[in-house]
């Protein structure tokens, strides 16, 4: 739990718990407090040998969303086995004034239309998307030695869809959406804690509505690339490109 000066709960782990967690990780790496990872000569040698079933034109579906569905299902299986904690985590990259920026969001829907995520429309990503709708997505399913990349444009999802999803969120996440003007500068953790407490008071005993400036984006891809790691860095890469109502498919060198 992370508690501010006023004692209000902001997230789900205490400073001690978080500090303890990181201290234990450092202990496992046998690095003293304050030591830098770049002191480790092992970084040059840090790599895995990748492997997996080959991604073949003869067996891969003609529709990239069908392939995405089956890889997402594999990612959920890996979650069940405790090796892939967040199968729906994806990085979304935006670009304005020739400066790309990227951050992780959670995939909340995928259909033949595209990939949907939810956020604050006034956040940095929201303001960048209002200037340039082009994005890149990246799913890093590392324990499966797989990645998926997509490029395309974003559309706002309907207000009804945003409200419907918002209504399913845990109450503390709903309150958090009201408390946080995402990406704005704040003076202190206490300011955030106070804003959360204010949201709790404001909606005491009533359902928390979806803020006007909060909602979804759907990424409509024009390309989707599937990457399956293979031994000797001879990885499989199949890229699907939209062509009229269908898709073309090409193999890329790794
Ligand atoms: C695993 C993970 C999942 C996240 N999911 C979301 C999400 O679904 N929506 C969101 O707005 N931010 C999410 N975040 C936070 C974003 O990465 C980012 O910090 C935030 O959206 C502000 O980004 P911006 O300033 O570029 O707009 C997530 C972060 C992590 C690490």
Domain coordinates in residue numbering, the chain? 1-47, 50-251
CB 191 within 8 A of CB 199: no
pLDDT, position 12: 45
Nearest-CA residue for atom 12 of ligand 1: 105
Atom in ligand 1 nearest the alpha carbon of residue 86 = 1
Please give the CATH superfamily to which domain 50-251 belongs: Electron Transport, Fmn-binding Protein; Chain A (2.30.110.10)
Residues contacting 98, CB < 8 A, separation 6+: none
Pocket of ligand 1 (CB under 6 A): 86, 89, 101, 103-106, 117-119, 123-125, 182-183
**Could you tell me the pLDDT band of residue 17, with boundaries at 50, 70 and 90?**
low
Question: Strand, helix or coil at 220?
Answer: strand
Q: Name the closest-CA residue to atom 6, ligand 1.
A: 105
**Residue 90 CA neighbour count, 13 Å, CB half:** 25
The pTM of the full predicted model, rounded to 2 decimals, is: 0.90
Which numbered atom of ligand 1 lies nearest the CA of 89?
A: 1
Burial environment of residue 138 by CB neighbours within 10 A (0 to 12, 13 to 18, 19 or more): middle
Structure tokens at 112: 């033949």
Average pLDDT of span 137-148: 98
Classify residue 254 as exposed, middle or buried by CB count within 10 Å of its CB (0-12, 13-18, 19+): middle
Token pair 């955030």 is at which residue? 192
Question: For residue 81, what pLDDT is reported?
Answer: 98
- Using most ligand atoms within 8 A of CB, pick from 103, 108, 136 the residue to mutate for ligand 1: 103
Q: Rounded to an integer, what is the distance from CA 123 to the centroid of its chain?
A: 15
């Amino acid at each position: 739990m992370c508690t501010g000066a006023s004692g209000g709960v902001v997230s789900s782990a205490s400073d001690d718990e978080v500090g303890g967690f990181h201290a234990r990780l450092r202990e496992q790496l046998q690095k003293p407090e304050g030591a830098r990872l770049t002191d480790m000569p092992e970084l040059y040698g840090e790599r895995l040998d990748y492997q997996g079933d080959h991604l073949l034109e003869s067996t891969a579906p003609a529709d990239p969303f069908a392939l995405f569905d089956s890889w997402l299902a594999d990612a959920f299986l890996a979650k069940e086995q405790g090796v892939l904690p967040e199968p729906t985590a994806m990085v979304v990259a935006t670009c304005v004034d020739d400066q790309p920026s990227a951050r992780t969001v959670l995939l909340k829907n995928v259909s033949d239309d595209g990939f949907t995520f939810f956020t604050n429309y006034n956040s940095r990503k929201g303001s960048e998307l209002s200037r340039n709708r082009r994005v890149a997505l990246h799913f890093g399913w590392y324990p499966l030695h797989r990645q998926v990349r997509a490029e395309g444009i974003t559309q706002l999802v309907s207000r009804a869809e945003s409200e419907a999803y918002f209504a399913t969120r845990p109450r503390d996440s709903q309150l958090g959406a009201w408390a946080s003007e995402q990406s704005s500068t704040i003076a202190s953790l206490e300011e955030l804690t106070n804003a959360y407490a204010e949201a709790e008071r404001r909606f005491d005993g009533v359902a928390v509505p979806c803020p006007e400036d909060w909602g979804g984006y759907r990424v409509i891809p024009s390309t989707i690339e599937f990457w399956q790691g293979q031994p000797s860095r001879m990885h499989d890469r199949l890229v699907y490109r939209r062509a009229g109502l269908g898709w073309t498919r090409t193999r890329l060198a790794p």
